[in-house]
Amino acid sequence: MARGSVVVEVEIRPTEDPDKVRRAVENIIDPDEVRIEEVGGVKILIAESRGLHGLVKLHRLLRQQRILDAARSVLKKSVQGNRITFYLHKQAALMGKASFVGGDHESPLGAIKVTIEHPDPNAVIDWLAPRTAMGKPLWEREMPE
């Protein structure tokens, strides 16, 4: 039984195509379930992964884009208890890129909110974004259970 989970939430603005918003999310993570909820007249796409396997795409993107150090810095600052919460740029995600932002205010159409819950968030960070030397990972860990 997987001990971690990933929840992604993103607002679908009235001018946006819900399929494009879904594609942006699925370019970054591989969810087990995707649904759209309406909260106070606002549509929210929620994608969930039971287990960390949903983060394999993000794991690969961080290496392809060579942004491990930046990602590690953001992730380390984003830990609260057993939860890591960070934001990704929606338009960049639609283009298949992982671009970290500080929140909705830094992404014109709103940001993608990613919440990872795991008993050992530092193990998750070490797997997703290991420390590097001259751009190369100092280690590669197995995905935490």
Write out pLDDT tens, residues 68-97. 999 999 999 999 999 999 999 999 999 999
How confident is the prediction for the chain on average, in pLDDT?
94
Indicate the pLDDT class of residue 109, thresholds 50, 70 and 90: confident
Whole-prediction pTM: 0.94
DSSP for the chain, please give it.
----EEEEEEEE-TTS-HHHHHHHHHHH---SEEEEEEETTEEEEEEEEESGGGGHHHHHHHHHTT-HHHHHHHHHHTEETTEEEEEEEHHHHHTT---EESSGGGSTT-EEEEEEE-S-HHHHHHHHS--EETTEES--PPPP-
Domain boundaries, the chain: 5-137
The CATH code that applies to domain 5-137 is 3.30.1440.10
